Amino acid sequence: MNRIDNAFKNKPIFMPYFPLGYPDLDTSIDVIEALAKNGADLIEVGLSFSDPLADGPVIQKATQIALEKGITVKKSLAALAELSKRGVTIPLMLMGYYNPMLAYGLEKFVHDAREAGADGFIIPDLPMEEAGEFEALLGDMLLIQMLAPTSSNERMALIARNAKGFIYLVSVTGVTGARSSISDGLGALIARVRAHTSVPVCVGFGIGTSEQAKQVGALADGVIVGSACVKTIGASEKPVEAAKQFAAEFRGALS
């Protein structure tokens, strides 16, 4: 059983997102460590990119600051290795866009990510139809597929049938960012996906409060929280303490 499968033994899981390099590199490592050790079951570790198409203003701003402070793919992978040295044992998924990975060199990128302790990848701008070259390099690492409310039944069936690890289900149309309430049709959307697969279904985009996380967790196998996590921690004068509290609050809501 790999670390990702193991994480889903107690569902629903809590999966926060946080970008390396924000508000600076050292703080981001401390924040991710705090999330991991205070309630997160799996973490989406952000790789910053200048054109993050799927992200809303909160994450765009954070990743832009990280880039201005000098974050690179190489530094990000070194930070991931540091988290492993600090005893972070939960799965760490690298979330980023394809262009920086291509620029780094795909084979070298996957090799270095494996060495650093990554369990897999979430790449919003790499559709399944174009992922063959990347997937051929992965070995036991996983590329997580994404589905959205706009996915056709045919595409949903195809992606779900071939999914490994878990499915990242985008709960709303549009970019990342907290919403005032969860979608009325979320239960039906999750049911559509589960009709085609037995892998866990995790819901992201739009979850801003622990109460919303609880509502989503009653329907899904996992809850992904990005913008609210970045905003809460980024706004705090004590980001590491804020990370500890955030993780504990959301984990508590899902227990």
Q: Specify if 31 maps to a domain.
A: yes
Mean pLDDT by 10 residues, the chain (255 residues): 91 98 98 98 95 81 96 98 97 97 98 98 94 96 94 94 95 55 83 96 93 95 96 97 98 96
Which domain covers residue 250, as residue numbers? 11-254
Tell me the catalytic residues. Answer: 44, 55
pLDDT at position 180: 52
CATH number at residue 177: 3.20.20.70
Q: Specify if 4 maps to a domain.
A: no
Q: Specify if 90 maps to a domain.
A: yes
pLDDT at position 249: 98
pLDDT at position 157: 95
Q: Specify if 226 maps to a domain.
A: yes
Q: Specify if 6 maps to a domain.
A: no
Q: Specify if 87 maps to a domain.
A: yes
Q: Specify if 3 maps to a domain.
A: no
pLDDT at position 179: 47
Residue type, 18: F
Q: Please, what is the angle between helix 153-162 and helix 186-194, to 10°?
A: 60
pLDDT at position 2: 87
Number of domains in the chain: 1
pLDDT at position 177: 45
Q: Specify if 176 maps to a domain.
A: yes
Length in residues, the chain: 255
